[in-house]
Structure 1
């Protein structure tokens, strides 16, 4: 039925050999554990399916999927994270879902709790020598998928090959007003002034070339929900391009928004797809779109 192999990070990994629901699968592999205890393992978030936490008892497992059962201590360390959820962890990378309002890393002016600091504390809880390394960042008020490297070699590999390795950077944007076009592409050159505001120019002015693709998902008279794909990844690119489109991101006063019904920025990093730095395998991680984005644009 299955193969079993011990893994690092205080967890055991199983490979699914037949179609089966998650709870019955766990009851089989943990045959010496009571049904209630197995349910508790699920509830505590100790079970990962293909690197993503799964608590759904009737989740349908497919042949070849990887099921990891983490130690209770690992689960407890994860539960201490605030505004950060671990989507995937292996020996090279940690992928998280960062909530809006959490800084990716500390700046000279801001020393508050950051995603970087929390994930550092998490990896050091198993070994004080462990470190993480910044690969890319999300704005403080942007939520969604973000990745850290667990060693310097992986960081350098990812940063040096970013444009070739990253195959998809998808965002979901809730923007002001009804976007008329079903889809479109915005191309411009971006420059930043001394006040740290980025400006867009339709002609090459020596700035950074930026290309943003968008598709309208749903809309009403007040706002539109867009799926946004980055062809380039410049600072504030989506925010600047949405202002240029005439539909600034909701809550983005810096780039033209006049309302903030969400009490946060209407921007979410939904998916990140890239070639894994060790295996070369194409991997994809998603963070669920905030429900308020969907209900607000219906």
Structure 2
């Protein structure tokens, strides 16, 4: 594992596309003795224990290659495999949720997502998302990711604002997904982090995996981890806070939030990875000061490069102005 901060900055970036329907875990000592259903419910986002029990009973979960019961007690070293079945048809309804459309044509739609909006529905959570808003707005979305995630090529966190692209047909979706996979999508984030960074720019190269103490969170670790690289450069300093630009070379869940915490500069306002007592309490309703500011991609039909920028949202901008006036 390379935990160094390195001054080299690269131009290519990658944001994680949707996770596969199959997931695997190797049980660590901290989880030994836990019930299978409890372990999986705590390891999966937006999935209830009841849903997990149904998957186990239907044979979608195996431990060491064998179908198990929900009350199985796990042992250290057990290999757990989950294959999430395709969702049964459900009614994901169009909803008149206001969204800021930055660009739209017959193939793609680019939206400046507001903070607090979940990107797509999940099990037991079928409304109030960007997908519901897109279905109302444009009605035609690609079907590659199934009925729960129509059009969704990539994601940003609920409480992260900024640019996100959706595909309106399967050909466009496949073209964009390939760009994410080969790291050719241009994406830049702006974040306000705690403390005064020692470097003007650098690279955080450290693998990310589930936090064994809270499996809904992630951490830098070498066990069951994925390669992760984040590049940063300082935009403005406020003494006890620093405004930075971030580029993702890889795209792991919560990558920016985990990496910045790892080097001792958690995002201001981050409810999961920030300090208990923030250096500067953010003056907006919840969520980390993180904004997806730049998006660039090759258009799937015209093959032309397209570039979009979204200004820092008002709540984050007001915080920055207050820091400048101190």
| TM-score normalized by the length of structure 1 | 0.66
1:152-187 Cα offsets, whole Å, 9 max, x none, are 221122223423363421000111122221111100
Q: How many angstroms does 1:265 deviate by?
A: 1.5
Are residue 120 (structure 1) and residue 135 (structure 2) matched? Answer: yes
Distance, in Å, in 1 between the alignment partners of 2:243 and 2:122 is 31
Q: 1:109 to 1:255 in 2, by over 3 A?
A: farther
| Corresponding residue number in structure 1 for 2:87 | none
Are residue 256 (structure 1) and residue 274 (structure 2) matched? Answer: yes
Query: Tell me, which stretches of 5 or more residues in structure 1 are unaligned?
Result: 1-79, 125-129
Aligned pairs for 1:1-298 (under 5 A) are 81-82=97-98, 84-124=99-139, 130-132=140-142, 133-164=151-182, 166-193=184-211, 195-201=215-221, 204-257=222-275, 258-259=277-278, 260-262=281-283, 263=285, 264-290=287-313, 291-298=317-324
Distance, in Å, in 1 between the alignment partners of 2:121 and 2:178 is 23
Q: Does the residue aligned with 1:154 lie in a helix, a strand or coil?
A: helix
Distance, in Å, in 1 between the alignment partners of 2:274 and 2:224 is 24
| Corresponding residue number in structure 2 for 1:67 | none
Q: Does the residue aligned with 1:181 lie in a helix, a strand or coil?
A: coil
Q: Which is strand-richer, 1 or 2?
A: 1
Higher RCO structure, 1 or 2 (CA under 8 Å, sep 6+): 2
Q: How many angstroms does 1:296 deviate by?
A: 4.4
Q: How many angstroms does 1:108 deviate by?
A: 2.0
Q: Does the residue aligned with 2:136 lie in a helix, a strand or coil?
A: helix
Q: How many angstroms does 1:271 deviate by?
A: 0.6
| Corresponding residue number in structure 2 for 1:71 | none
Coordinate RMSD, CA, aligned: 1.9
1:109-152 Cα offsets, whole Å, 9 max, x none, are 4344111111110113xxxxx23511111100000000100012
Distance, in Å, in 1 between the alignment partners of 2:132 and 2:300 is 23
Distance, in Å, in 2 between the alignment partners of 1:296 and 1:214 is 23
- Contact preservation (8 Å) 1:198, 1:240: yes
1:9-48 Cα offsets, whole Å, 9 max, x none, are xxxxxxxxxxxxxxxxxxxxxxxxxxxxxxxxxxxxxxxx
Q: 1:110 to 1:295 in 2, by over 3 A?
A: farther
Aligned residues: 211
Q: 1:199 to 1:122 in 2, by over 3 A?
A: same
Q: Does the residue aligned with 1:196 lie in a helix, a strand or coil?
A: strand
Q: 1:184 to 1:171 in 2, by over 3 A?
A: same
Distance, in Å, in 2 between the alignment partners of 1:108 and 1:179 is 40
Distance, in Å, in 2 between the alignment partners of 1:176 and 1:151 is 41
Q: Does the residue aligned with 1:274 lie in a helix, a strand or coil?
A: strand
- Contact preservation (8 Å) 1:224, 1:297: no
